[in-house]
Amino acid sequence: MRHNEPMDSLLQWRKEFPVLENTVYLISHSLGAMPKRSRDRLNEYADIWSTRSIRAWEEGWWEMPIEVGNLVGQIIGAGPGEVTMHPNVSTCQAIVTSCFDWRGKRNKIVSEGLNFPSNLYIDRKLEELGARLVTVASEDEITVPLDRLLAAIDEETLLVSVSHVIFKSSFIQDLKAITQRAHEMGAMVIADVYQSAGTVPVNVREWNVDFATGGSVKWLCGGPGAGYLYVRRDLWPRLEPRVTGWMAHKNPFAFDPGPIEYADTAFRFLNGTPNIPGMYAARSGYEIINEVGVAAIREKSRRQTARLIELADEAGLPVRSPRDPGQRGGTVTIDVPNGYEVTKELLRRDFLVDYRPGAGIRVAPHFYTKDEELDVAVREIQRILAASSVAI
């Protein structure tokens, strides 16, 4: 046990996450550990469904996309009622981009080549509706050059679509500078905060971004089925998503055949029946992240990711994440030969990590990680590399 470990008060949370007992859990950038409380919440869902049935809608289910969104809002710096819940980020991105007319002169989308593929797929398909997608390339496949990204934003730019933290390398982008430039040019910003929220401080109102999307599977420990969408409140009256549905109507129970009249509240960004069990599953994760506090999580993450880099350096393993802790999110990518096969072997041995092509093995401590787990994980990678008996 390392000298600083007994002082690590965050380790008291370990008992809330059963999977930590029998795995070395370094995969929270991909799937955060399941809290014990989530099982209780899912049982609650089953009880309510079976006993309250249709009455459950007016006893809480109808308001859930906003009420659960408020828990996320506390994590990302949004105000009450400003975050709506959806099944995933791809849906949220589709909703936002469906608000715009791409046929005019202002039709450019500026993004980075390292943005998450879903976002780029959606943006690229908008070219069929008149949009022009311009992606800023990375020179090292780790960072995104801020000067080139800012220079790409011009008076023909409608939307700047960026990830706060790059999923492959964990590079942190300067959302404040990007938003300032975008607004100077009359463009809007959609920030994907999936790889930051819950481990790197996010403040959508301080940055003044127009939209933010994220999900629950990773750092928020919420499991699959719950994504979230923040839209700057003063924009609401101007935005009419084409990806829509009856829940977005001002008076949904009139079942009016249309055209739709959008709700004045954030309900205007909803569409059909929400994923109620997904929200039951996810909310405990949000509550825990709020209880622990992102500032404390970030402080520990900076220390542990620095330690991981130190260990990788000592072992002679190439690191493909920023070395400057101010530019580095919660993950360290270690690029070893045959990374895919090494990762498979690590998983077999209950070391939970993942592999991304063109990047390497992604290793992520979270607030529940022990320092000693970092040492044993790097040692295990070395062992696998050294073992001639493992066919890799």
Ligand X SMILES: Cc1ncc(COP(=O)(O)O)c(C=O)c1O
| DSSP category for residue 34 | P
Kindly write down the DSSP assignment for every residue of 363-376, as one continuous string.
EB--TT--HHHHHH
Task: Report the sign of the C-alpha dihedral through residues 294, 231, 184, 98, in that order.
Answer: positive
Angle at which helices 294-315 and 276-292 pack, to 10 degrees?
80
238-267 residues in contact with ligand X (CB under 6 A) are none
Residue with Cβ nearer ligand X (17 or 167): 167
For ligand X, the nearest residue by Cβ is 88
- Min dist CB 118 to ligand X, Å, is 5
Q: Which span sits near ligand X by CB under 6 A: 87-95, 130-138, 142-150, 380-388?
A: 87-95
- Min dist CB 282 to ligand X, Å, is 12
C-alpha count within 13 angstroms, C-beta hemisphere, residue 265:
15
170-209 residues in contact with ligand X (CB under 6 A) are 192, 194-195
Q: Which span sits near ligand X by CB under 6 A: 48-56, 83-91, 287-295, 297-305?
A: 83-91
213-232 residues in contact with ligand X (CB under 6 A) are 215, 227
Residue 88 interacts with ligand X (CB under 6 A): yes or no: yes
Residue with Cβ nearer ligand X (108 or 218): 218
Q: Which long-range contacts (CB under 8 A, 24 or more apart) does 123-132 make?
A: 123/97, 123/161, 126/97, 126/102, 129/102, 129/103, 130/101, 130/102, 130/103, 130/104, 131/102, 131/107, 131/158, 132/107, 132/108, 132/156
- Min dist CB 175 to ligand X, Å, is 13
- Min dist CB 294 to ligand X, Å, is 17
Q: Find, among 102, 87, 96, the residue nearest to 230 by Cα.
A: 96
Q: Where does this chain bind ligand X (CB under 6 A)?
A: 88-90, 116, 118, 163, 167, 192, 194-195, 215, 227
